[in-house]
Amino acid sequence: MPRVIQKGLSDDELVQFLQRLQSIGQDFWQRNWRESMALPEDLPLHDHEAITRFLLLRTLLNQQGDTNKVRELVRALFAAFKRQLLDEPLKVVSQFYEVLAVFYRVGGEKGAKIYRVGALGGIKPLSLFLYRFAAFAFFISGLDRLLYEIVEDKLQQGVHNLWAFFRDDPILNGGWVGNDPKAVRMLTNWLIWLFGAIWRKVDVNLEDTLMVVDGHVDKVFCRAGAVKTVVYEPQRPFIIVAKDIRSGIETLVKGAPQAIPMFVDEGAFTIAMNWCFETQPNCAECPIRTACLAGRGSDEHLRWSAYRQNLP
Ligand code: SF4
């Protein structure tokens, strides 16, 4: 893969950049965590087991999906099947025509509003939904104790134990996408937040949380100059190769004093969704403009994009 070494932020500028992202991300998280998780109104927050199971289904289905549509889908599934969806998902499997009705109602005739599968070589949206739902149903049915208790135990032993538990489970492994699924990182952060800040069951240091680092987060780091070595696609110059940059960003954030990875990650994602668009980013109104080299006028930095060709 081609790569370039670009001008980077100074040490002081980098600290300022991360602090601003963290502040934006923390604010967003505290106001929106419930909506991000798509928790149904009639699923009580004190029902720890149900919430934990719901979030597992939510993250499995979220992979490669349109996030807003996946939120709608999991809420619609819960509205249709209520607690049975979470308590006895194999019984829900036995009513699968009703599940399909919900899937197509939310996702359109072929489910393509939920999963856009154009680049996936003939795989259907329904196929993506089926194997993820099956992984959830089989995993829940095989539990010999409450999932909530397992999560609490794992978390007591450290964030990495919880992360590895979900990532490496032999059944869930069939439902995750890739070897280091972003969805597992998202699930781990959500559970840390609930078990620590909301339910106060486990004392977790938020500095141990994980970066999710999707392509949009990568893009903000590259445009800002926080990433100096940028790897990009050979066929489509200036589209960054997110997976080759992710670990560098995670190491960078982990090494910054008092940085909280999940808030920094959320902050960068918020910037990407509201100002740092693929084409025509709104630098003039971006709240981190002074901490970003592209925002300060560097076209060399501004050219990077996550998914769409963004020729200068
Ligand atoms: S200043 Fe511009 S390039 Fe930098 S993060 Fe904001 S929108 Fe993106």
β-bridge mates for residue 145, sequence order: none
Task: Note the pLDDT tens digit of each residue in 71-101.
Answer: 999 999 999 999 999 999 999 999 999 999 9
Ligand 1 pocket check: which of 7, 20, 220, 301 to mutate, most ligand atoms within 8 Å of Cβ? 220
pLDDT band, very low/low/confident/very high, at 309 (cuts 50, 70, 90): low
Nearest CA to ligand 1 atom 8: 276
Burial of 23 (0-12, 13-18, 19+ CB in 10 A): middle
- Weakest mean pLDDT among 5-19, 85-99, 297-311: 297-311
Q: Is the pLDDT reported for residue 144 higher than 60?
A: yes
What is the rounded distance in angstroms from the CA atom of residue 209 to the CA atom of residue 250? Answer: 11
Decide which of 153 and 257 is more confident. Answer: 153
Judge contact between 221 and 242, C-beta under 8 A.
Answer: no
Res 48: pLDDT:
97
289 in contact with ligand 1, CB cutoff 6 A: yes
Q: Is the pLDDT reported for residue 234 higher than 90?
A: no
pLDDT band, very low/low/confident/very high, at 117 (cuts 50, 70, 90): confident
Res 69: pLDDT:
97
CATH class of the domain at 3-27+210-302: mainly alpha
Res 237: pLDDT:
76
283 in contact with ligand 1, CB cutoff 6 A: yes
Terminal Cα distance for the chain, rounded: 21
Mean pLDDT across 21-38: 96
H helix and E strand count, the chain: 14, 2
Q: Is the pLDDT reported for residue 119 higher than 80?
A: no
Sign of CA dihedral 39, 67, 250, 55: positive
Mean pLDDT across 276-304: 96
Beta-strand ranges (E) seen in the chain are 3-5, 229-231
296 in contact with ligand 1, CB cutoff 6 A: no
What is the rounded distance in angstroms from the CA atom of residue 159 to the CA atom of residue 136? Answer: 22
Mean pLDDT across 274-294: 96
281 in contact with ligand 1, CB cutoff 6 A: yes
Judge contact between 258 and 252, C-beta under 8 A.
Answer: no
What is the rounded distance in angstroms from the CA atom of residue 283 to the CA atom of residue 251? Answer: 27
**Which residues have C-beta within 8 Å of that of residue 234, sequence separation ≥ 6?**
1, 2
Ligand 1 pocket check: which of 240, 286, 296 to mutate, most ligand atoms within 8 Å of Cβ? 286
Q: Is the pLDDT reported for residue 35 higher than 70?
A: yes
* Average confidence score pLDDT of the chain: 94
Mean pLDDT across 276-285: 95
Mean pLDDT across 112-117: 91
Compute, in angstroms, the gap from residue 248 CA to the centroid of ligand 1. Answer: 20
Ligand 1 pocket check: which of 279, 292, 293, 299 to mutate, most ligand atoms within 8 Å of Cβ? 292
Q: Provide, rounded to the nearest whole percent, the portion of the chain with pLDDT above 90.
A: 87
Res 135: pLDDT:
98
